[in-house]
Every structure is written in structure tokens, then in C-alpha cells.
Amino acid sequence: MTEATFTFRVEEQLKSAFALAAKAQDRTGAQLLRDFMREFVRNQQQMAEHDAWFRREVQTGIEAANAGDLIAADDVEAESALWRDNLRRKSA
């Protein structure tokens, strides 16, 4: 893996406090920043994957609705009532 230098400006007080906090964890600031960057990238990837999945699901629903593949509101209400009753029984 090739490495690159990442330079940015930060208030001296924040830099000092961060260095002390890192030292308390027996880590360097650079180690922690790399960890934070990896976690941020991982979170962004997961969010993008979830967004893509969600959009596919919505599109599937739109296509089903356009094709007339719908569930009547009364049927949804009846099933929801059963779910609520089951939850109430479990929590009682």
C-alpha cells in the first residue's frame, strides 16, 4: 500500500487536547486519524449501499403498483390488527 501525507490546519488547543487523549489510549494522533478516516469511509459505503438497496425496493414497489399488484387497504388493516394483538399479548 502506498502512503500519502494528509496535511490540514487545526486550532492548537484542539491539537494538544487530541494528542493527550490519543496518548491516554496508548495511540498516536496519526493512528487515531487513520482509524477515524477508515470508519468514515466504511460508513459512507454502507450508507450508499443501503440507499441503492432502498431505491431498488421502492422501484420494485412502484412497478408492482403500476402492474396492479396491490393489497387492499382492508387486508392491510386486518393484518396490522393481528400484529398489534400479538405484540400486546407478548408484552402483557
In a domain, 82, yes or no: yes
Find the domain containing 34 and state its range: 12-91
Q: How far is CA 35 from CA 27, 40, 53, in A?
A: 11, 9, 27
The pLDDT of 72-78, averaged and rounded, is 94
In angstroms, the CA 36 to CA 34 distance is 5
At residue 1, the pLDDT reads: 77
In degrees, rounded to 5, the angle at the alpha carbon of residue 15 between the alpha carbons of residues 9 and 19 is 140
In a domain, 52, yes or no: yes
In a domain, 2, yes or no: no
Residue 39: Cβ within 10 Å count: 10
In a domain, 48, yes or no: yes
Q: Taking the model in full, what pTM does it have?
A: 0.70
Q: How many domains does the chain have?
A: 1
In a domain, 7, yes or no: no
In a domain, 1, yes or no: no
In a domain, 27, yes or no: yes
In a domain, 46, yes or no: yes
pLDDT digits (tens, 9 = 90+) for 10-61: 999 999 999 999 999 999 999 999 999 999 999 999 999 999 999 999 999 9
